[in-house]
């Protein structure tokens, strides 16, 4: 990936030379405003499709049966076209906004499509790291601590080195009053898993067949199989929520107040905020809205409202990429609303239920 990034930098530098630094930076800013909206699952589905294709027989007496559903679908689309009913575009909502814009934005030049592709490739590279941020930081913190402690016990580092590391380690693990520290949360959960699997209760031994001393094996298993969402859902226990003093808070007037301390609601909210990496789940619902090539994006609302001011500014950037009016459907204060930017002004309207 390092070689790829170097090549990307060279291509962007060439575009700056050819088209002007300001022009390229303005376009890049617009792309970066929606860089999180990629679909990592497309890579998985692509690999699955290759496997399915490889598994299909190369020839046989019933080759004419392969793809009958696709043929029927194409025939149905052709009938609708003849009846004057245009096929939906895209056929299904698309989560990968960058890919959709790169492929279908009508006015983009080749160098602009290439920049979108560059940003998308680099974003996809970081998706696995984003999926395991809490686990990665907690895992690193545990082993840094244990390695340094063992080196200190064996006299491989000086007392001053030990103290210096302890101070650094303590500052890294300091819990935040207003947000989750992934180093601290991950560290504590891994420690708790190891402790519980090393010392199972009588009930866990009888009902689950756990044997004492399995903690090390268990944390390696979790590290291999889980991501942050499953890690927190499965291992952030009631005792941990209480011991870590986790809670939900909200603003009441000019003050921030504790809104919820029920451990399950706290855990579920943390998990929900990590789904889709904490970003709103947006899909392209229609690339030819009103039959006028306007772009209709839908927010799949999951209880977390958008920052409308931020959303309206982002629509300006998406307009620069699409070149036609942009619409964003979302939910605000319990009502379905439509945010629109037509290239000159923002507007907001309420949609019927």
Average pLDDT (50-78) is: 54
Show me where the domains of the chain are located: 133-274
- Mean pLDDT lowest among 68-72, 155-159, 199-203, 255-259: 68-72
Cα separation, 351 vs 337, whole angstroms: 5
pLDDT at residue 151 is higher than 70: yes
Name the pTM for this structure. 0.76
Closest C-alpha among 173, 177, 176 to residue 186: 173
Task: Name residues whose C-beta falls within 8 Å of residue 123's C-beta, 6 or more positions apart in sequence.
Answer: 35, 36, 38, 98
Separation of alpha carbons 338 and 330, rounded Å: 6
Q: What is the pLDDT of residues 105-128, one digit of tens each?
A: 999 999 999 999 999 999 999 888
Task: Report the half-sphere exposure of 5 (CA within 13 A, side-chain side).
Answer: 7
Model confidence band, residue 58 (pLDDT cutoffs 50, 70, 90): very low
Question: pLDDT band at residue 259, thresholds of 50, 70 and 90?
Answer: confident
Can you tell me the mean pLDDT for 194-219?
A: 93
Look up residue 308 and give its two tokens: 């409308």
Express each pLDDT in 305-345 by its tens digit. 899 999 999 999 999 999 999 999 999 998 999 999 999 99
Rounded to the nearest integer, the mean pLDDT of the chain is: 88
pLDDT at 177: 78
């Amino acid at each position: 990936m390092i070689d790829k990034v170097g090549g990307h930098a060279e291509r962007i530098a060439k575009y700056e030379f050819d088209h002007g630094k300001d022009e390229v930076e303005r376009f890049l800013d617009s792309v970066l405003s929606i860089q999180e909206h990629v679909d990592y699952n497309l890579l998985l589905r692509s690999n699955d499709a290759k496997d399915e294709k490889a598994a299909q027989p190369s020839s046989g007496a019933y080759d004419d049966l392969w793809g009958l559903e696709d043929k029927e679908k194409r025939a149905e689309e052709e009938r609708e076209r003849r009846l004057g009913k245009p096929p939906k575009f895209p056929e299904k909502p698309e989560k990968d906004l960058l890919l959709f814009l790169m492929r279908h934005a009508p006015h983009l030049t080749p160098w602009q499509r290439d920049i979108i592709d560059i940003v998308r490739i680099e974003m996809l590279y970081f998706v696995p790291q984003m999926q395991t941020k809490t686990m990665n930081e907690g895992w690193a913190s545990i082993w840094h601590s244990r390695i340094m402690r063992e080196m200190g016990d064996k006299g491989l580092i000086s007392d001053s080195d030990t103290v210096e590391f302890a101070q650094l380690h303590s500052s890294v693990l300091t819990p935040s009053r207003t947000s989750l520290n992934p180093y601290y949360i991950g560290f504590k959960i891994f420690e708790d898993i190891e402790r519980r699997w090393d010392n199972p209760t009588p009930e866990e031994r009888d009902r689950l067949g756990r044997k004492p001393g399995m903690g090390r094996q268990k944390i390696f298993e979790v590290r291999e199989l889980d991501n942050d969402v499953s890690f927190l859902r499965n291992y952030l226990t009631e005792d941990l929520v209480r011991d870590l003093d986790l809670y939900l808070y909200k603003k009441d007037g000019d003050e921030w107040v504790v809104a919820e301390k029920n451990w399950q609601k706290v855990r579920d909210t943390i998990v929900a905020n990590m789904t889709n990496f904490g970003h709103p789940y947006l899909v392209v619902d229609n690339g030819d809205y009103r039959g006028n090539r306007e772009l209709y994006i839908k927010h799949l609302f999951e209880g977390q409202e958008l920052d409308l001011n931020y959303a309206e500014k982002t629509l300006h950037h998406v307009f620069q990429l699409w070149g036609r009016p942009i619409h964003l459907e979302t939910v605000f204060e319990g009502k379905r609303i439509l945010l629109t930017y037509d290239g000159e002004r923002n507007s907001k309207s309420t949609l019927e239920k």
